Amino acid sequence: GNSVTQMEGPVTLSEEAFLTINCTYTATGYPSLFWYVQYPGEGLQLLLKATKADDKGSNKGFEATYRKETTSFHLEKGSVQVSDSAVYFCAPYSGGSNYKLTFGKGTLLTVNP
């Protein structure tokens, strides 16, 4: 089955700092790759995704590039805000009719003003 290794948190940054959260995966075939975000007190929501090698997913200033050669999908943002404080989950999906995702353990990001 699939597996995910995410950068361990917590990560604490000052506002406007550069963010990288590392994610590497093992998966069968050519998976789609996802980043989900969980804001305090809420469920997870899709942040961005990429479906094939070299694709770049982007949303809300966050980006991640599908790197097949290194099996990685690192999340980046050039200038974080306090409102970006959340838990971030990386998840590969290898296809199949039931759409089961394998989630990483999550990385807690705290952004201070």
Q: Does residue 101 touch another protein according to CB under 8 A?
A: yes
Q: Which is nearer to another protein, 46 or 53 (by Cβ)?
A: 46
Structural contact between residues 63 and 55, judged by C-beta atoms closer than 8 angstroms: no
Nearest residue to 73 via CA among 16, 17, 29, 20? 20
Q: Decide if 106 contacts 9 (C-beta within 8 A).
A: yes
Segment lying near another protein (by CB under 8 A), choices 16-24, 29-37, 64-72, 78-86? 29-37
Q: Which of residues 38-67 bind another protein (CB under 8 A)?
A: 41-46, 49
How far apart are the C-alpha atoms of 113 and 44, rounded to whole Å?
Answer: 24
Residues binding another protein (CB under 8 A)? 32, 34, 36, 41-46, 49, 89, 93, 97-101, 103-106
